[in-house]
A and B are shown apart, each in its own frame.
Chain A
Amino acid sequence: MHLSDADIAHLGKLARLDLTASQRQLFAEQLSAVLDYLDQINQGDAAHVAAHVPRRTVTPYDLREDVAAVPSSVDLAAQAPHREGRLVASPPTT
Chain B
Amino acid sequence: MDVKHLSITELHAAYTSRELSVEAVTSAYLDSITKRDGSLQAYLTVLGEAAMGQADALDERLRHGEQPIGLFGVPIAIKDNMCLAGTRTTAASKILDPYVAPYTATAVQKVADSGAVILGKTNLDEFAMGSSTENSAYQKTANPWDTTRVPGGSSGGSAVAVASQQALVALGSDTGGSIRQPASLCGVVGLKPTYGRVSRHGLIALSSSLDQIGPFARNVSDAFSVYQAIVGRDAYDATTTEEASVNRDVLTKGLAGLRVGFLEAAMLAGMDEEVKARVQEALALMEKAGAKIVPLKIPSAKLSLALYYVIVTSEVSSNLARYDGLRYGVAQSPVGSTFQKFTTANRSHGLGQEAQRRSILGTYTLSKGYADRYYNRAHELMDVVAQDFAAAFRDVDVLFGPTAPTVAFKLGEKFNDPLTMYLSDIFTVPANIANLPAISMPIGFAHQLPVGGQFMGPQFGEGQIFQAAAGYEAESGFTNLVADGLA
**A interface vs B, CB < 8 Å?**
3, 7-8, 11-12, 14-19, 23, 27, 30-31, 33-35, 37-42, 45-46, 49-55, 58, 62-64, 70-71, 75-76, 79-82, 88-94
Q: Are B339 and A90 in contact (CB under 8 A)?
A: yes
Identify the stretch in B49-57, B163-171, B382-390, B466-474 within 8 Å (CB) of chain A at 4 or more residues: B382-390
Other CB < 8 Å A-B pairs besides A8-B360, A51-B381, A52-B387, 6 of them?
A: A11-B367, A18-B344, A19-B356, A27-B356, A41-B377, A81-B328
Q: Are B384 and A81 in contact (CB under 8 A)?
A: no
Taking the closest CB of chain A, its distance from the CB of B288, in whole angstroms, is 37
Identify the stretch in B233-241, B251-259, B443-451 within 8 Å (CB) of chain A at 4 or more residues: B233-241
Q: Given A46-B303, A54-B383, A71-B102, decide whether A11 and B238 contact each other with a Cβ distance below 8 A.
A: no
Q: How far is the CA of A45 from the CA of B381 in the complex (A)?
A: 11
Q: Are A27 and B357 in contact (CB under 8 A)?
A: yes
Judge if B62 is at the interface, Cβ distance under 8 Å: no
Q: How far is the CA of A16 from the CA of B342 in the complex (A)?
A: 10
Judge if B331 is at the interface, Cβ distance under 8 Å: yes
Sample of 17 A–B contacts (CB below 8 Å) = A14-B363, A15-B317, A16-B321, A17-B356, A33-B419, A34-B418, A34-B422, A38-B365, A41-B310, A41-B378, A49-B381, A70-B102, A71-B103, A76-B102, A91-B338, A91-B339, A91-B342
Taking the closest CB of chain A, its distance from the CB of B370, in whole angstroms, is 9
Residues of chain A lying within 8 A (CB to CB) of residue B306:
37-41
Q: How far is the CA of A87 from the CA of B330 in the complex (A)?
A: 17
Residues of chain A lying within 8 A (CB to CB) of residue B344:
16-18
Taking the closest CB of chain A, its distance from the CB of B143, in whole angstroms, is 26
Residues of chain B lying within 8 A (CB to CB) of residue A46:
300, 303, 381
Interface centre among B235, B356, B364, B386 (most CB of A within 10 A): B364
Taking the closest CB of chain A, its distance from the CB of B300, in whole angstroms, is 7
Q: Are B340 and A16 in contact (CB under 8 A)?
A: yes
Q: Given A80-B327, A88-B327, decide whether A50 and B380 contact each other with a Cβ distance below 8 A.
A: yes
Taking the closest CB of chain A, its distance from the CB of B233, in whole angstroms, is 9
Q: Given A40-B306, A50-B384, A58-B239, decide whether A17 and B331 contact each other with a Cβ distance below 8 A.
A: no
Q: Are A81 and B359 in contact (CB under 8 A)?
A: no
Residues of chain A lying within 8 A (CB to CB) of residue B341:
91
Q: Given A41-B307, A50-B380, decide whether A31 and B239 contact each other with a Cβ distance below 8 A.
A: no
Q: Given A17-B344, A94-B338, decide whether A55 and B383 contact each other with a Cβ distance below 8 A.
A: yes
Q: How far is the CA of A82 from the CA of B326 in the complex (A)?
A: 7
Identify the stretch in B25-33, B64-72, B345-353 within 8 Å (CB) of chain A at 4 or more residues: B345-353
Q: How far is the CA of A42 from the CA of B381 in the complex (A)?
A: 10
Q: Which residue of B lies closest to A24 (CB)?
A: B360
Judge if B373 is at the interface, Cβ distance under 8 Å: yes
Residues of chain A lying within 8 A (CB to CB) of residue B324:
16
Judge if B343 is at the interface, Cβ distance under 8 Å: yes
Judge if B309 is at the interface, Cβ distance under 8 Å: yes
Q: Are A31 and B384 in contact (CB under 8 A)?
A: no
Q: Are B310 and A30 in contact (CB under 8 A)?
A: no
Q: Are A93 and B300 in contact (CB under 8 A)?
A: no
Judge if B299 is at the interface, Cβ distance under 8 Å: yes
In B109-166, the 8 Å CB interface with A consists of: none
Q: Are B330 and A81 in contact (CB under 8 A)?
A: yes
Residues of chain A lying within 8 A (CB to CB) of residue B374:
38, 41
Residues of chain B lying within 8 A (CB to CB) of residue A91:
334, 337-339, 341-342
Residues of chain B lying within 8 A (CB to CB) of residue A70:
102-103
Residues of chain B lying within 8 A (CB to CB) of residue A92:
338-339
Q: Are A82 and B334 in contact (CB under 8 A)?
A: yes
Interface centre among A38, A58, A93 (most CB of B within 10 A): A38
Q: Are B419 and A37 in contact (CB under 8 A)?
A: yes
Q: Which residue of A lies closest to B360 (CB)?
A: A11
